[in-house]
Amino acid sequence: MDNFIYTSTPSRVIFGQGKVSTLPQEAEALGVSKCLILCTKFQIKEAEMLTKLLGDKAVGIFDNATMHTPISITDEALDLAKSLNADSVVSIGGGSTIGLGKAISFKTKLPHICIPTTYAGSEMTPILGQTVDGKKTTESHPDIKPNVVIYDVDLTMTLPVEMSMTSSVNAIAHAVEALYAPDTNPIIQLLAQDGVRALASALPEIKTNPLSIPARTKAQYGAWLCAICLGSTKMALHHKICHVLGGTFNLPHADTHTAVLPHALAFNAPATPRAMELLAEALPEGKGDAVKGMNILLEKLGMQMDLKRFGMKESDIEIGVQQTLSNAYSNPRKIEEGPIREMIRRCWAGEPAVQDL
């Protein structure tokens, strides 16, 4: 076995059906009593539920969390937190809300309790992605990670099927890159493999029966493992392309990851044989071929793979290429302009991934 370094970045995790009810106790354990609740305009009902749970420990709701965490929105929320003399933030929702909670917590050092309602996994990472002047930047620091994460399957039961699928494929992408990251290790690879396996098993059942508590629980568990992987290793080409396209063209985060994943996987497969073996074991329908196994899963889930339906223009492809090549992330296979251009074009058009770029 190769030598390796494994660094754990622990946070407190409460996992189980009905566990959102422990929120007041978690706030008390952190020593906070003036919680500002964060959500999007689509999850005000859930935020109001938390307000009732917290009682006089809740000082207000900020309901304008926005995709890709624009700095202007963070500033709005910071102003509200200051005016309410908040001593903590509680985020409920997906990556948009969790990202806002991270930004506020990192800037103010206020404790952050996070309650995810999707499978994207931002809650388990020390990574903050923000959009400044139409360009998405990322920052990594241990203090960015939420203090407490509460996983309650009941809060995922109304997540639309399509969003459940894209959010979960987003999570799978985290694990895939962790398998071949330059700083991966056997522990992370085990977590990545089991995370992919759990999601690949749960998602077809969720598509057929969205109200299956066992399937939803398994998906939440798998997403948690995949998120740990993302927070423990360096990101590669997949995430670079997603950050560029999502931040520059304001594309939906999870849908962008879904479109890019098979292309980035096929591109890197020849350079990462051991990672592909591990991934193939987690995707057995590919019969030993990880790329085939991923394609079978995406087809089974009925994923739409084109980005042009979100307003990305063909003329935007070249912009995406040049920004991807600028300050490129580490990657197991050499990044060259021609193949990157064809990958992004295929993502835009929704064409199948190919391995001979």
Longest Cα separation, the chain: 60
pLDDT attached to residue 8: 75
| pLDDT tens, position by position, 46-74 | 999 999 999 999 999 999 999 889 999 99
Residue 85's CB is within 10 A of a number of other CB atoms, namely 9
Are 198 and 145 part of one and the same domain? no
Give a yes or no: residue 214 inside a domain. yes
Give a yes or no: residue 1 inside a domain. no
Block residue for tokens 């360096």? 234
pLDDT attached to residue 302: 93
CATH code of the domain containing 32: 3.40.50.1970
Per the structure, the count of domains in the chain is 2
Phi, psi of 210 (to 5 degrees): -60, -20
Structural domain boundaries, residue 223: 161-349
pLDDT attached to residue 127: 86
Contact between 170 and 35 (Cβ < 8 Å): no
Contact between 159 and 23 (Cβ < 8 Å): no
HSE (side-chain half, CA atoms, 13 Å) at 185: 11
Closest CA to 324 of 339, 302, 346, 303: 339
Are 176 and 118 part of one and the same domain? no
| pLDDT tens, position by position, 74-99 | 999 999 999 999 999 999 999 899 99
Closest CA to 330 of 184, 130, 156: 184
Tokens of 46: 């859930």
Residues of the chain short of pLDDT 50, as ranges, are: none
Q: How far apart are CA 320 and CA 180, in angstroms?
A: 24
pLDDT attached to residue 1: 63
Are 306 and 165 part of one and the same domain? yes
Block residue for tokens 């102003």? 79
Are 65 and 24 part of one and the same domain? yes
Q: How far apart are CA 65 and CA 50, in angstroms?
A: 16
Q: How far apart are CA 357 and CA 13, in angstroms?
A: 42
- Of 136, 156, 176, which residue sits at a domain end? 156
Residue 123's CB is within 10 A of a number of other CB atoms, namely 30
Residue 252's CB is within 10 A of a number of other CB atoms, namely 16
Are 139 and 170 part of one and the same domain? no
Measured CA to CA in angstroms, residue 200 lies from 147, 172, 219, 285 at distances of 29, 9, 8, 10
- Cβ-in-10-Å burial (0-12, 13-18, 19+) of 10 comes to exposed
